[in-house]
Chain A
């Protein structure tokens, strides 16, 4: 009897609550993003603006760690069947997720009545959002690696501000000049960079090399050009003019940024997304310029896309959000608060953004570099799970004693095995 009464009570409560839930036609969307600190705050700001402008859709933005932690959590969420509605996911993960049918195909929406003009996107930013000709993600926070330099140190050594990319040898000379030693101990490194595949592939392309063959069936970074590229870092590190921070992953980026801010490193490679952060925190004025070039200018594209996990029930509303995020006013807000590059040509023509670039020319450097030398990342679905082999090899050469040929060949062999499994 008591059980019956309990069931009746539960039914009554549910019956009372259900209409209340239905009357509220507002749709709640969960949005996972992967930017911490000041960058994450800007994401939250934009989401707040979106929610204010769209009373019927409420986006709930949830911070999920760095880019790769987002992917890890997303994979776990798929396994558990509890995915969010929108995810900000790193460029190299889009083909991986798309190949596994984990993302919703956005092609029809993008081409539909509420769509976007594909020609409006900056070309180098599109390929990583596509898989087998279909669009699975829209570029949102995109960046390119740039060279940051300490302007005061440049002045002190009478080095002029670079116009366009320096050659490798010019760059090395400057690195040499900027290095300061105090009784044998290096107190200022001319140059510092995380040993990261992203910076390395940019240099590799600038030397005429390639990561994969054009059909992405074979790793080609172990070519003589690849060997030369990693040995260049090795040689500068051994000469004590370049610092290679030893932690792995994004921790190394933190070290490089801290060293630059503290004046321990005169030049660093980092993402253009750091312009605002470094300029705000550095004691000396910060210069921003192109990556050095060997035979041609080249800069990888990086950052993330907005994508939709395959199981969302609200594809239309999600698309509304994505489209809003990449419209010109939002792009203007986003770009000027971070240092990311605008993803569309129309945003570049947006009068307020143009005025901003005129007043802050350093923010335009990555845009110029992107338009001239932008290079999309490999689009193979296995790249996101296998670039660690390449990164381990680079670290073993620069920080250890493994010969470059051997390290790169081993990494290439490992990645080839993965590429062979792609259908």
Chain B
């Protein structure tokens, strides 16, 4: 009964009832995925765009169309400016930090020894812990009164630092612990990339007289391009989506919106100030920013990436 050519009826002829049924079955198989995407993704996306053009508090039955007023208010808002700046710093700091250290660790630990494996395991461990646990853990470690970090500082004769409570250090504390959490993943991904580089390339380079330094910069790094590129794209997107650590550790504070990151901003505007329109507008902007960033990354970097087999 199954007709493999159903759905492509010969021109000029009405599809037979059998063929129509078969084609319908094809749609039926796709239906669950289509419904889920349609309802939870495309409908939500469209509804969000619509909300971004309205004034609404989540409750009142009436939503007023306000045009681009929400976008204008956002672009005028000092807190939004600060959020953009914070997000840029956080993204640059955590992405570059984690990738550089991860790559260095991968190069240092690439030889398969028992010790290297142990260290790799230890470094990777934080990656599998949930963000909420990591945030709570570091909240204790960084506590100015009872925290281990400041206790160590005082023992060493250094001044105690109110890591999360001072405007100057709060964001960088978040960057540091993000690096701590993600560096293992970057390292493992780079190790995987390193293994894909054929040993013959190094052998022939060594024969040609290339030292270890030259090998790293002329062979390893260029051939690791696809891996690094993949890490860059995913880390940037991820950094833009950071929420848990802000919500648990600083709630955007301590002052002057010092640790407002993009998604936390959306949450605060929507669910603390109940300005759903502005929160929706910020979501749309986040979507556009990520789209543009990813496009730029592909445009400028992909060309320079060597996809060696």
Contact = CB atoms under 8 A, between A and B. Distances in A.
A139 to B, nearest CB: 22
B159 to A, nearest CB: 9
Nearest to B274: A385
A246 B169 CA distance: 13
Contacts of B144: 246
Contacts of B272: 68, 385, 388
A385 B256 contact: no
B254 to A, nearest CB: 4
Given A385-B272, A385-B274, A400-B167, A75 B59 contact: yes
B57 interface: yes
Interface string A185-196: 100000000000
Given A79-B58, A251-B251, A385-B57, A72 B256 contact: no
A386 B273 contact: yes
A102 interface: yes
Interface residues of A, number: 32
B271 A246 contact: no
Nearest to B159: A185
Contact of A396 (B57, B60, B255): B255
B57 A399 contact: no
Contact of A247 (B146, B250, B271): B250
A101 interface: yes
Given A72-B271, A400-B167, A395 B253 contact: yes
Contacts of A12: none
Contact of B164 (A101, A247, A262, A386): A247
Nearest to A264: B145
Given A259-B145, A396-B255, A248 B58 contact: no
B256 A400 contact: yes
Contact of A399 (B145, B250, B255): B255
How many B residues touch the partner, as a band?
20 to 34
Interface string B5-44: 0000000000000000000000000000000000000000
Contact of A385 (B146, B167, B273): B273
B57 A100 contact: yes
Interface in A246-263: 246-249, 251, 255, 258-259, 262
B251 A246 contact: no
Interface in B133-155: 144-146
Contacts of B166: 246
Nearest to A414: B273
A386 B166 CA distance: 24
B251 A249 contact: yes
Contacts of A392: 255
- Chain B CB within 10 Å, residue with most, of A78, A96, A246, A399: A246
Contacts of B250: 247-248
A246 B162 contact: yes
Given A75-B271, A246-B164, A247-B164, A97 B252 contact: no
Contact of B252 (A76, A248, A385, A396): A248
B61 interface: yes
A140 to B, nearest CB: 22
Nearest to A388: B272
A247 B60 CA distance: 32
A97 B145 CA distance: 39
A187 to B, nearest CB: 10
B193 interface: no
A100 B57 CA distance: 9
A293 to B, nearest CB: 29
Contacts of B274: 75, 96, 384-385
A39 to B, nearest CB: 21
Interface string B33-69: 0000000000000000000000001111100000000
14 contacts: A72-B271, A75-B59, A75-B274, A97-B59, A100-B57, A185-B160, A247-B251, A247-B253, A249-B251, A251-B251, A385-B274, A396-B255, A399-B254, A400-B167
Given A246-B165, A385-B272, 9 more contacts: A75-B58, A78-B59, A100-B59, A246-B164, A248-B251, A248-B252, A255-B145, A385-B273, A395-B254
